[in-house]
Structure 1
Amino acid sequence: MADILSLRARGLALRAGAAPFDEVVGAGEIVGLAGLDGHGQQTFLKMLAGLTAPAAGDILVERDGTEERIGSFRRAVARGVAYLPRDRRATGIFPTLSVLDNFAIATVGRDAPAGLISAGRRRSRYEHYRERLSIVAPRPDAPITTLSGGNQQKVLLARWLAAEPKLLLLDDPTRGVDVATRRVLYGVFRDLAKEGMGLVVLSSEIEEILLLCDRVLVFREHALAARLSGAEMTTETVIAAMFGRAA
């Protein structure tokens, strides 16, 4: 797959009547999304993932000097965009399957080059990401429900990293996990950016965005209210933008 240079929103409106905006997420940067609950940041993330259709405008992948429109989740995945949902129990894990099956479900084709699934190939790939993400699991064939919430989250992240995406969309990725798991995830996210992956991180915690992200987009009333970077990125300026007032 060719490298994705950027994921672009052009003339994007999150709902009918909302002000349209343009935005670009480039390779190697971590972009944070902030806003009061229900003000559009999650809608924007889902539009980037191809899960929600824009009220107006387009989401485009730019690579090799050309642009391709993303019109569905399947097309986004095919073009190197991965999405980690907020509610891992409802929309992420398959509770009746094992840790290994949950990990490998998005990359079955890679384990069956000759039409038959190679257990060794699948297990080897799992072990690689288990070590990289410090996944604590009793054994690969254990039910995923036996893992802690933080380790379930790591398995979901490993699932999409194994697909080798070029851009990763994360919806509150540290929600409900312990401090140790947060540290591991922060380190992984920073390493991925250094390797050239673009990341978009929606977080309900302003401190997390300020700690992790290169810049932040603040949403208010289903519109992009502010773009903040560098010295502008403070708790006060983010909160001010969320409430529609000057810092």
Structure 2
Amino acid sequence: MADHTAPGLAVRDLVIAPSASAITQGIAPGEIVGLAGLDGHGQELFLKMLAGLEQPLGGSIELGVSGTFRKITGFRKAVASGIAYLPRDRRANGIFPTQSVLDNFAVSTLSRDARLGLISPAARKARYDIYREKLSIVAPRPDAPITTLSGGNQQKVLLARALALDPAILLLNDPTRGVDVATRHVLYDVFRGLAADGMGLVILSSEIEEILLLCQRVLVFRENEVAAEISGEAMTTESVISAMFGRAA
């Protein structure tokens, strides 16, 4: 478990459902932590609480930056504090389907493109181009409707939007769901690069192999509690599945 006094995300005595045991965890800078579990066993609820989208029944979530801890009490506070969240269902909760690729990218960070109080199209495009190159986004042009892009490239635009917030912690809800194999490996390389640069990542994945490939440790949820925390050589498909079903590995 990460040091709760260190910078990063500190989860203390978090209760996510009635009669469930409290969760205390730390997510350190540069760490990639996986969340696993059978559907509906609390891992997605936990991730949304970290993002400020759901309120816990007890306990606290704090983000430590530059020696100070900020309590996360809602989504806006989470974003302002340095937490970015990539939703699971990009069509329902992520993209703005009537807007362009560039508008979808810039919607969360419009103030960064202002020059003398006015939005600078050149500044906005220059900022988008940085992430287009970094994430290998394939788009015909920035003003094309986002719906003209493949699912994988839509996902990259949403990731670019999240990264443009310069977060300390990135929360990813099944980030490679519905994307092709090539895009998946581009995203894996990006995630590893972000962690190497000091960003903390929490990845919920429905694919155990993905967690084993990317994460230093995994929290396995069962009945709205952390049933097991597995790391290092103990992280195997068998050990994760056993914890998901409440069996000893």
TM-score if structure 1 supplies the norm length? 0.97
Spell out, residue by residue over 1:51-96, the C-alpha distance to the aligned partner (whole angstroms, 9 max, x if none). Answer: 0000111111123333221000000000110000000000000000
How far apart are the structure 2 equivalents of 1:181 and 1:140?
A: 19
- 2:44 aligns to what? 42
Q: Which amino acid aligns with 1:30?
A: I
How far apart are the structure 2 equivalents of 1:68 and 1:186?
A: 29
Spell out, residue by residue over 1:154-196, the C-alpha distance to the aligned partner (whole angstroms, 9 max, x if none). Answer: 0000011111111100000000000000000000000000000
How far apart are the structure 2 equivalents of 1:113 and 1:200?
A: 35
Task: Give the SS at the match of 2:119.
Answer: coil
Aligned length in residues: 244
Shift of 1:230: 0.2
Shift of 1:16: 1.4
Identity in percent = 68
Q: 1:95 aligns with which of 94, 97, 107?
A: 97
Higher mean displacement: 220-229 or 59-68: 59-68
Higher mean displacement: 12-21 or 170-179: 12-21
Q: Is 1:12 aligned with 2:14?
A: yes
- 1:190 aligns to what? 192
Q: In 1, are the aligned partners of 2:174 and 2:206 still within 8 Å (CA)?
A: yes
Q: Is 1:162 aligned with 2:167?
A: no
Q: Which amino acid aligns with 1:108?
A: L
- 1:28 aligns to what? 30
How far apart are the structure 2 equivalents of 1:227 and 1:66?
A: 27
Task: Give the SS at the match of 1:71.
Answer: coil
Higher mean displacement: 58-67 or 205-214: 58-67
How far apart are the structure 2 equivalents of 1:17 and 1:102?
A: 40
Q: In 1, are the aligned partners of 2:8 and 2:168 still within 8 Å (CA)?
A: no
Task: Give the SS at the match of 1:169.
Answer: strand
Q: Which amino acid aligns with 1:160?
A: A
Where do 1:39-188 residues align within 5 Å?
39-188=41-190
TM-score if structure 2 supplies the norm length? 0.97
Shift of 1:114: 1.7
Q: Is 1:216 aligned with 2:191?
A: no
Higher mean displacement: 89-98 or 53-62: 53-62
How far apart are the structure 1 equivalents of 2:65 and 2:199?
A: 13
- 2:3 aligns to what? none
Instruction: Kindly report the root-mean-square deviation, in angstroms, between the aligned alpha carbons of the 2 structures.
Output: 0.9
